[in-house]
Structure 1
Amino acid sequence: MEFATFILAAQRGYHQSCDGVIRNSIEQAVVAEQAGFDTAWFPEHHFNNYSLIPSPLMMVAHCAGLTSTIRLGTAVCVLPLHQPQRLLSEIGFADIVANGRLELGVGPGYQQFEFERFGANIDEVPAVFSEYLDILLKGLNQDIFEHDGRYENIPPTAISVRPVQKPTPPIWIAGGPARMSRAYREGHNVFVTAFHNGLEGLSTLRDSIEKTAAAEGKNVTDAKISLLRCCYASDDDAEISSYLDNARFQRRLSEALHQRRQQSLDGYLLQETPTQQDLSFETMRENLPIGSVNRVIDRLLEEMDILKPDQIAIQSQLGDFDQKTMLRQIELWGDKIIPAVNKALAPAGV
């Protein structure tokens, strides 16, 4: 089983400086490598405090110089907000400086707040994403490519800065059923999440993945699956409550942005508003791999048996959770949880 950190780089309030949030995120990636994690993922967001990473490829390039083994990924580059021709060179540059460690995650995006400020029409997102991904695949796979489409017309073009990995870095796709179908159809990998739901939600998600693969005439194992999950191991109830509070904070902001009901008193810092979808801390603890080390291990194994992912991506940088405590948490996963899970998953006699 692969393990990853998903480093959101959130800012819960002005008591956190933007430079502090970014430096904490970088430090978490470095410590994750030392702890034995396989991948560190970075998102892309703009113009509010939900996440402070405007370019995951810039984070990859920077962290490449501070690490040597951990793979570094974009989760995701929001394609409709980019000029795909330029993005191709940036992908190549990031993979070069990372010595072939780039994992390229792409997605359509969902936050109208961002699209409006780029002058982009969010209602056209599915079509734009599809065309821009076509362009990326042409540029990554062909020495000289051209494109004549609805949104871009590109004459014969060569990308001078090309990835180390051939034919391309691993490509991961996030989004709804249509994007998952495309991933299976073209041989890419998929990001999924069950949010804060429990085993029933994971079972429903697995059924959806199997049906999608079958509809494309593929085996479900033809794509790697990464499950984004909130996980935390501790015997300290105060620590757990703080983690859950920050996880719920992030979920509230994500829902508000997705449903286009974001609110801000100053045009930047989003208000955290309780909703009917909120779960109690008790329910979250029951639903998620959260609690003692043994409880987290047992729960992860139970979830893996249902969803059968190839990777678990734990959310490590949420809200204003204490940095030193989170670094100790990452180290705990490396010392105890990851080895125990992989030992339990190993074939008998190995």
Structure 2
Amino acid sequence: MDFGIFILMQQRNQEKSSYQIIQEAVEQTRVADELGFGAAWYAEHHFSNYGLCPSPLMMAAHCAGVTKRIRLGSGVVIAPLYTPARLISEVAMADVLSNGRLNLGIGGGYQQFEFERFGITLENAKDKALEMLDMIELGLTQDKFSYDGKFYQQPTTAISTRPVQSPMPPVWIASGDPMLMRRAIRNDYHVFISGQLGGSKRLGGFRESIDQLAVSEGKDPSKVKVGLLRFAYASDDKAEVERYVDCARYQQRIAVSLKTRRESVSDDYMVREQPFDEELPFEKMLKNLPVGPVDTVIERLLADIRAARPVHVALQTQIGDFDHRTMLKQLELWAKVIIPAVQQELARDKAAEAQPVALAA
């Protein structure tokens, strides 16, 4: 199991320009690479301050030039917003420019605020994403392909730029929709889940649902590859921890308002923060998340990992208006202290599982 970073490129206020926020994301990626993190992920969002990256593939291609080993991922490409043939070509191009370090995250999208500004609707978005997956598989693995689906048709076409990774970059599907999760399980893709502001019990419920889907698909649940996106922050400074959790709550509030079509926008693209009915008390968030002193973070994160059984954990770094320099120091703490300690405990778990049960005399 390895660790990565997830960068939303959020703009909580306009004190920082989009240029500063994107450059900070690039620097976080470069530092994460130097520290040995396994992956950096970039979200795709449009037309609001929820996330300033409209093209995670472009971001991955750029960051490939300032890094050496870290894998670079779309977290995620919102498939229905693309023309299929162009998306397939750009995926191949990003894989070439990263020298085979691309992780292809795919999702169906959930913000009608974005969709309507592209002149389309969220209706059938998941079905469109499934057809897009069909076409990505065909376009990247065959010399030429055609497609005749319900939503997309493609005449015989050859994608001239070929990916470095064979047969194609690994696919990560981020969705709570059973159709997309089944597709991921059926094709041995990764299932990317988010713990949001919940605790280990919530994650255990997610994993149980994934296991049940695997069984229904005739797959071994233990072989399903799960990626976990998690808010996490380690510090003895209570005010600093609370500041990070406040930014996590801010992110959740904006996401919920966009998902439920209750967004209130000012200055053309700034979504106002507003609480929602099911919101957890702040103290509950502090208890649910792996935040606080290092020992507390390690203990809670181990509980999360044991509940969700992921192969990859992505830590949310650039959220709200949390301080960039503080986050760079945080990455170093994780790389040098927290991740080694977590990996050591997981190795002990594995060794204990491998021990034969002593037979009674």
Identity of aligned residues (%): 49
2:196 corresponding residue in structure 1? 195
2:266 corresponds to: 265
**8 Å contact kept, 2:188–2:225:** no
Give per-residue Cα distances to partners, 1:164-201, cap 9 Å, x unaligned: 00001100111111111111112211101121111221
Contact 2:234 2:297 in 1 (8 A): yes
* Rounded Cα–Cα distance in structure 1 between residues aligned with 2:286 and 2:266: 32
* Aligned mates of 2:13, 2:28 — CA distance in 1: 20
| Aligned residue type for 1:171 | V
Q: Is the 8 A contact 1:78 1:108 kept in 2?
A: yes
Cα deviations across residues 284-319 of structure 1 (Å, max 9, x unaligned)? 111011111111111111221121111111100101
**Counterpart amino acid of 1:330?**
L
- In structure 2, give the amino acid aligned to 1:150: K
Cα deviation, 1:101-134, whole Å, max 9, x if unaligned, reads 0000000000000000001121121221111111
Cα distance in 2 for partners of 1:41, 1:256 equals 23
1:345 counterpart residue number: 346
Displaced runs of 4+ in structure 1, greater than 6 A? none
Structure 2 CA distance for aligned equivalents of residues 267 and 234 of structure 1? 36
* Match in the other structure for 1:226: 227
Q: How does 1:1-350 map to 2 (within 5 A)?
A: 1-175=1-175, 176-346=177-347, 347-348=350-351
Question: How big is the alpha-carbon RMSD for the aligned residues of Structure 1 and Structure 2?
Answer: 1.4
Contact 1:35 1:333 in 2 (8 A): no
Residue number in structure 1 paired with 2:357? none
Secondary structure, aligned partner of 2:172: strand
Q: How many residues align?
A: 350
Equivalent in the alignment of 2:356 = none
Letter in 2 for 1:135: M
Q: CA deviation at 1:52?
A: 0.2
Q: 1:348: how far off?
A: 4.3
Q: Is contact 2:60–2:73 with CA below 8 Å preserved after alignment? A: yes
Give, in whole Å, the separation in 2 of the partners of 1:138 and 1:129: 14
Gaps of 5+ in 2: 353-361
Gaps of 5+ in 1: none
Superposition deviation, residue 219 in structure 1: 1.1
How far did residue 280 of structure 1 move? 2.9
1:222-244 per-residue CA deviation (whole Å, 9 max, x = no partner) reads 33111111000000011111101
Q: In structure 2, what is the Cα distance between the partners aligned to 1:62 and 1:276?
A: 40
Separation in 2, partners of 1:104, 1:78: 11
In the alignment, residue 112 of structure 1 is paired with which amino acid?
Q
Quick one: distance in 1 between partners of 2:16 and 2:300? 33
Q: How far has the Cα of 1:150 moved from its partner?
A: 2.3
